[in-house]
Amino acid sequence: MYASFGWLIANVFLLVRAIGRVRDLRFGGERRASVRFETAFAATLDGEPCEILDLSLRGAGIRIGRVAAIDLHRLVVTVDGGELDLAASVRSSRNDDAQRAILGLEFMPGQTAARAELALALFRTTVVPARAGHPVGLRVPVDPANVTGDQAAA
């Protein structure tokens, strides 16, 4: 009984240490909160053109010539003919071979609508599927006479 209790205490100790290690900000660079997509979207950071290296719902990796020394940045991404304006902070910074800054940005909380638009662009989905002759994302009236059994069940 004492050995079992000792083994339980040892396992709880290891579990608490593991949880602490995972949550420690010092090791935050080793984990990713969401999938990063390599993209070809045009973007600007604080009005300066930048190259997006990867993009996720939580942040972006960009390459830029120079960075303003401020805490809150504005990343404007051109998506599907419109612009998504996202507030972001710099989580990591390093220089490439050409001495351009490679930044890891984290999007600030409270931008639900912009992040939802970003999700649709990243996953290449639309709210409503497109039909021949109609723009993507608009609801198209359905003619009941042309509905098949499979479409009616959907």
The range of the structural domain enclosing residue 73 comes to 42-122
Q: Quote the pTM value.
A: 0.58
Identify the pLDDT of residue 12. Answer: 97
Q: For 71-96, give the DSSP string.
A: SSEEEEEEETTEEEEEEEEEEEEEE-
When divided into structural domains, the chain yields a total of 1
Is 118 within a domain?
A: yes
Is 71 within a domain?
A: yes
Is 93 within a domain?
A: yes
Is 115 within a domain?
A: yes
CATH code of residue 73: 2.40.10.220
Percent of the chain with pLDDT over 90: 23
Give the CA angle between residues 93, 56, 75 to the nearest 5°: 60
In this predicted structure, the answer to whether residue 149 has a pLDDT above a threshold of 70 is no
Is 139 within a domain?
A: no
Is 154 within a domain?
A: no
User: Average pLDDT for residues 108-134, to the nearest whole number?
Assistant: 72
Is 151 within a domain?
A: no
Whole-angstrom distance, CA of residue 141 vs CA of residue 139: 7
Is 104 within a domain?
A: yes
Identify the pLDDT of residue 11. Answer: 97
Phi then psi dihedrals of residue 62, to 5 deg: -135, 160
Q: Which residues pair with 83 in a beta bridge?
A: 78
